[in-house]
Amino acid sequence: MTVKSADRTIEVLEVLARSTAPLSLADLREELGYPKSSLYMLLQTLVTRRWVETDGRGLLYRIGVRALLAGTSYLDRDPVARTAAPVLDEVRAEVNETVHLARLDGDSIIYLVSRESQHHLRTVSRVGRRLPAYATALGRAILASRPDGADLVPERPEVLSPKGLADRRAILAALEQARTRGYASESEQTGPGLGCRAVALAYNDPVTDALSCSVPLARLDEPHSERIVNTLLDAAHRITDLLTR
């Protein structure tokens, strides 16, 4: 059983959180289908509580600072993020590339922790970023470790870059390759000029989390790739040991 007003509040916040631009009342009404008057009153309540912010005219809405505080609180209290953070610092220091911790949420992954490379040429993925799991090395590492992994790959996959995999069979083959090798990889499938290596964290069943290293292809030769994979595997073992003691 759900409470309609609570459901609507959460749905409004989720729509605003996904949007890359502020939304008008009409935009939100079209997306959610709520009556205009009740949607307006809900938005005013959220603005008053600072979960939603408006522009100077009060016509456009965006996610508010209270959402940031709630998200920060989640990360501060999440045992995996807290345990993994110092290990990710060590991985970044070892390979000097950008490293991430991400978690499966539905059929997507969400970045929880990131540590940027010190190179001038480096990749950046913000904490809280959400991407289709099947399209990323992080997500594929997780899906390859789960019995329901194939079920989370849609019939018509979304493509994130010109070299992204649009064929479901090709993605399932990538998952099988990740199972066989013990790590997942992708090259320019989430962005031009970027490669990624990822390993799952096996502290729980089914697997929900993974570590990755994102690298400009200009630096991703075979020896560097092997070093990154070995460092990630060692980090995953250490984090799992800490979480299962």
What CATH number is given to the structural domain containing 178? 3.30.450.40
pLDDT tens digit string along 41-51? Answer: 999 999 999 99
**Which residues lie closer than 8 Å to 234 by C-beta, 6 or more apart?**
none
pLDDT at 120 over 90: no
Q: Domain check: are 23 and 124 in the same one?
A: no
pLDDT tens digit string along 54-74? Answer: 998 888 999 998 988 888 888
Return the percentage of the chain with pLDDT > 70, whole number.
Answer: 97
Which parts of 96-192 fold into alpha helices (H)?
137-143, 168-181
pLDDT of residue 172: 96
pLDDT of residue 237: 97
Of 37, 68, 99, the position where a domain reaches its end is: 68
Return the percentage of the chain with pLDDT > 90, whole number.
Answer: 74
- Per DSSP, the three-state class of 69 is helix
Residue 73 is assigned to a structural domain of this protein: no
Q: Domain check: are 186 and 236 in the same one?
A: yes
Report, as an integer, the average pLDDT of 3-25: 89
pLDDT at 155 over 80: yes
pLDDT at 7 over 80: yes
Q: Domain check: are 96 and 38 in the same one?
A: no
Q: Domain check: are 21 and 103 in the same one?
A: no
Q: Domain check: are 111 and 217 in the same one?
A: yes
Closest listed residue to residue 231, CA positions, set 245, 217, 211:
211
The pLDDT confidence band at residue 228, using thresholds 50, 70 and 90, is very high
Q: Domain check: are 86 and 148 in the same one?
A: yes
Q: Domain check: are 144 and 171 in the same one?
A: yes
Residue 173 is assigned to a structural domain of this protein: yes
Threshold 0.75, pTM exceeds: yes
Tally of structural domains, the chain:
2
Residue 88 is assigned to a structural domain of this protein: yes
The pLDDT confidence band at residue 128, using thresholds 50, 70 and 90, is confident
Radius of gyration in angstroms for the set of CA atoms belonging to the chain, rounded to a whole number:
20
Residue 21 is assigned to a structural domain of this protein: yes
Which range of residues forms the domain containing residue 57? 4-68
48: domain CATH number is 1.10.10.10
pLDDT of residue 205: 94
Q: Domain check: are 10 and 106 in the same one?
A: no
